[in-house]
Amino acid sequence: MSRKVNILVLFGGKSAEHEISVLSARSITEALSPERFNVMLAGISRSGHWVIGQDAQDALRKGVVEEAGDCSVAVCPGCQEHSILVYSASENTCKTLEVDIVFPVLHGTFGEDGTIQGLLEMADIPYVGDGVLASASGMDKTIMKDIWKNNGLPVLPCVSILRHDLEENLESCLESALQEIGLPCFVKPANSGSSVGITRADTRQELLESMLLAAKFDRKIMVEAACPSPREVEIGVIGNDVPKCSVPGEISYSSRFYDYKTKYQNDGSPQLLIPAPIPVDVATLVEDLAKRAWRAADLNGLARIDFLLSKDGRIWLNEVNTLPGFTQFSMFTKLWEAAGVSYSSLLEELIELAFSRYKDKRRNLVKP
């Protein structure tokens, strides 16, 4: 790079993972080399309001993006040099931010689901991470399971149910889930993160209550067969057309399953075991399955791919997280650290991958 790269770190957002996003952005901005990068910040409040400049700096310090400032931010398709416009109502002025690349650290809905990626694609701005399709399909658990299943990859049996159908005929939906999946099972909102709205059902009544709960968080829910006493193994993957893997890690806990309280309130004494205490041949198989899952879903940039290991030795693909937690203590970054890639080096490699993907996309013809 002949000059400093103007990088906009975009964080906060409207999802349940707002605070985690702010922590991730704080870690990223502290680790990016000031000799190589000119770091700019933009925060998004829970209502969707963008803040920039000092208000964004304050958000990083406070840990939450508040409804503050008098500025309006616009991403402008067609502007030269990837411009973002900032209008100040109090000063009645409009200034331009020259942005070379965006690092969207927006976990969950409205950030990890293809929405912000679509905005940046329309504006022709390079960005770190997965594209529109991979982000959207990765966010939807039922779609991703279908993609993997249709590519011959191991996934647990599951069915999807629309909230509309639940409201129209709850009893029919319940019976269908019992017949096709049975008990015990897990019920999940199709589009959510951090295990929000996910419950385990061991009885008919629990399944009924779980379906109604999940439907509060999304218009589509997934009922999935439970893997008995699973070990939860995760692996980090980065790359574009040629993925490479970190070491696998395992999450150990004493709670009923790895739910929201276990993840963020330390209920169940969660522990990260890095590298995972699994045989070499199992680790090799996990890496192979992760690469196949990556290619099947057309992932690019980065992802954390999660597995369930059953007592009988079977390995199931569980889900993909296309923008995992990105603090220096998050599973994804710790996995790469164990693989010999430092946090700052990981960031720089992801930025290079984003520029490479953008350059490759521009090779596409738009007319015969």
Distance CA 114, CA 140 (A): 11
Among the listed residues 127, 149, 130, 126, the one whose alpha carbon sits nearest the alpha carbon of residue 139: 130
258 — pLDDT class (breaks 50, 70, 90): low
pLDDT tens-digit profile of 279-304? Answer: 999 999 999 999 999 999 999 999 99
Give yes or no for a contact between 195 and 187, defined as CB atoms under 8 angstroms apart.
Answer: no
Q: In sequence order, what are the beta bridge partners of 272?
A: 251
DSSP-based three-state secondary structure for 231? strand
Name the pTM for this structure: 0.92
DSSP class per residue in 74-89 = EE-TT-TTSEEEEEET
- Looking at residue 194, what is its pLDDT? 60
- Looking at residue 146, what is its pLDDT? 97
Choice among 151-155, 231-235, 258-262, 340-344 with the minimum mean pLDDT: 258-262
Give yes or no for a contact between 316 and 144, defined as CB atoms under 8 angstroms apart.
Answer: no
Distance CA 330, CA 334 (A): 6
Residue 356 has pLDDT above 90, yes or no: yes
154 — pLDDT class (breaks 50, 70, 90): very high
Mean of pLDDT values over 144-162: 98
H or E element: which one contains 308?
A: strand 301-309
Percent of the chain scored above 90 by pLDDT? 76
- Looking at residue 254, what is its pLDDT? 60
Q: In this structure, how many other beta carbons lie within 10 angstroms of the beta carbon of residue 165?
A: 16
CA-CA-CA-CA dihedral for 100, 106, 108, 110, to nearest 10: -70
Choice among 39-43, 57-61, 74-78, 168-172 with the minimum mean pLDDT: 74-78
- Looking at residue 80, what is its pLDDT? 62
Distance CA 142, CA 347 (A): 30
- Looking at residue 207, what is its pLDDT? 98
Contacts made by residues 286-290, CB under 8 angstroms, sequence distance 24+: 286/233, 286/235, 286/248, 286/315, 287/235, 287/245, 287/248, 289/153, 289/154, 289/315, 289/317, 290/235, 290/237, 290/243, 290/245
Among the listed residues 318, 319, 346, 345, the one whose alpha carbon sits nearest the alpha carbon of residue 332: 346
DSSP-based three-state secondary structure for 130? coil
- Looking at residue 1, what is its pLDDT? 47
Determine phi and psi for 133, rounding to 5 degrees.
-65, -50
pLDDT tens-digit profile of 317-335? Answer: 999 999 999 998 899 999 9
Between residues 159 and 123, the one the model is more confident about: 159
Distance CA 19, CA 94 (A): 30
Choice among 27-31, 88-92, 294-298 with the minimum mean pLDDT: 88-92
Distance CA 156, CA 129 (A): 27
Mean of pLDDT values over 245-268: 69
Determine phi and psi for 172, rounding to 5 degrees.
-65, -40
Between residues 177 and 367, the one the model is more confident about: 177
Mean of pLDDT values over 222-250: 96
- Looking at residue 28, what is its pLDDT? 97
pLDDT tens-digit profile of 102-133? Answer: 999 999 889 999 999 999 998 899 999 999 99
Between residues 52 and 267, the one the model is more confident about: 52
Altogether, the residues listed in the chain come to a count of 368
79 — pLDDT class (breaks 50, 70, 90): low
What is the residue-averaged pLDDT of the chain?
A: 91
- Looking at residue 137, what is its pLDDT? 97
